[in-house]
């Protein structure tokens, strides 16, 4: 799930659950940390309009508000035109062709190839890209230390779920 760092790493998460919807079009991962009184869930589903959609939720199970810094994101997204097989067999070469950009106004991340990998010394322009974005209140998005990661993080007070 890749969501928690720092203090959470020192704590133990309990009761990991994996569930799916009746129609098998949604899968949900959930973990509860009783030491911190937090619950984190992450749902993956498909959408005709947006493709794969990921919805993550952090819930304060305690009575008092808590202030947290949350870092959440997806790593190593493949740009359009790069097959999984090529990535597996020629990962270093593939990394040399990968580029990513983040539009700070919209939060749109673009994962693209500088050109299409080929054995011939001829120009082969890559015109398509994989796109991702985050939609959340009070969000700050940015590129992480890893080369092909975009993460969104926010420090805020989480109130008890009603």
Q: Are 107 and 93 in contact (CB under 8 A)?
A: no
- The pLDDT score that the predictor gives to residue 28 is 92
pLDDT for position 137? 57
**What pLDDT is stored for residue 131 in this prediction?**
86
Residues of the chain with pLDDT under 50: 1-8, 143-162
50 Ramachandran zone, left/alpha/beta (phi>0; psi -120 to 50): alpha
| DSSP code string of 90-119 | SHHHHHHHEEEEEETTTTEEEEEESS---S
Instruction: State the pLDDT at residue 158.
Output: 32
């Amino acid at each position: 799930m890749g969501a928690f760092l720092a203090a959470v790493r020192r704590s133990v998460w309990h009761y990991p659950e994996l569930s799916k919807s009746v129609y098998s079009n949604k899968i949900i991962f959930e973990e509860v940390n009783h030491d911190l009184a937090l619950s984190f869930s992450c749902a993956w589903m498909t959408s005709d309009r947006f493709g794969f959609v990921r919805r993550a939720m952090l819930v304060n199970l305690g009575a008092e508000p808590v202030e947290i810094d949350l870092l959440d994101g997806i790593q190593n997204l493949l740009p359009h035109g790069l097959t999984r097989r090529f990535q597996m067999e020629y990962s270093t070469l593939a990394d040399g062709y990968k580029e990513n950009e983040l539009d700070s106004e919209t939060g749109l991340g673009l994962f693209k190839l500088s050109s299409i990998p080929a054995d011939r010394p001829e120009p082969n322009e890559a015109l398509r890209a994989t796109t991702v974005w985050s939609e959340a209140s009070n969000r700050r998005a940015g590129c992480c230390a890893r080369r092909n990661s975009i993460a969104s993080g926010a420090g805020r007070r989480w109130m008890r779920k009603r």
